[in-house]
Structure 1
């Protein structure tokens, strides 16, 4: 069973009536930017989700763009059970913001881990390419290594650079100790 989508304005109306809003993004994403009052239940922890969270009220799920939530809607609906009325915010947090609805941003929190990986991989590839062109062709090993790492991450779901970045000092706010996300 999939979940119907609703516009952010309709979600706001349901929330004003007592509905429960659940943010399924990861801890680093939720820490940086969130809809006020949204409960954080990361999709990666779906198996541990408390099914009684809604107490008979409608449940509204959201992610950043809506794509992740829609892709996992059957799992989310199955976790809540057939008697629970549930929805997905069409366009997610991005559409919520575009609709002029309130969003809390904490710029003291680090960038989302995915963005850190993109910046790191892009910087290494660019630097290696420039050094390969200007200094020595041996530097072309760097972008080749980065490319192999990205392919490996895409195929296996394991990203070595993300695991290294999780341990970086600026990410300790969100991750505490390595591999353990801070509860929001």
Structure 2
């Protein structure tokens, strides 16, 4: 079986998925993002769940390609799986965005906003509220400064506290199966 580079582009992944020894696809986005659109045959294992149960998943996977919206969360998942001893882990370069841009198939369901779009809405709203509210309540403009500082830290660390908090809201959660059930599903080979 050929060794893939740490990142794999959409066209190469499509070819690999057609092979009998296709890698497993783990989508580490929120259940709501996954429900909105996902690569056919992929499994939803949100980043927090993957981090918490990486040891159980390690025994269920041979080769895996991690998928998220753009690649940032997949990189975090790759690091977590690497810490658990998995070495045959790859990232879909550019994530779902690149997959869709390449014209690759997506299963689409409910219309949900991507987590990144939700972060932009909340952050923008807080900035506007801070600036406009600062005209009435002195000092409220510091809310806008705090949001700006948080976005700067998010960019520098490639993490997003606001996104992690938003992912916990009921709108962004969906029913999920247990890690034991997920591990059993991952062990099954596709026909």
Q: TM-score range by the shorter chain?
A: 0.5 to 0.7
- Name structure 1 gaps, 5 residues minimum: 176-180
Q: Does the alignment pair 1:19 with 2:23?
A: yes
**Higher mean C-alpha displacement, 113-122 vs 98-107:** 113-122
Q: Does the alignment pair 1:183 with 2:188?
A: no
SS of corresponding position for 1:182: coil
- Name structure 2 gaps, 5 residues minimum: 155-159, 178-191
1:55-93 C-alpha deviation (Å, 9 max, x unpaired): x4x3111221123323543332343635xx332211111
Distance 1:51 1:89, change over 3 A: same
Based on CA coordinates, which of the two structures has the bigger radius of gyration?
1
Contact 2:30 2:172 in 1 (8 A): no
SS of corresponding position for 2:29: coil
Misfit runs of 4+, over 6 Å:
none
The alignment of Structure 1 onto Structure 2 pairs a total of residues equal to 164
Match of 1:138 in 2: 136
Determine which of 147, 152, 157 is the counterpart of 2:145: 147
Determine which of 60, 63, 74 is the counterpart of 1:53: 60
Give the TM-score normalised by the residue count of structure 2.
0.65
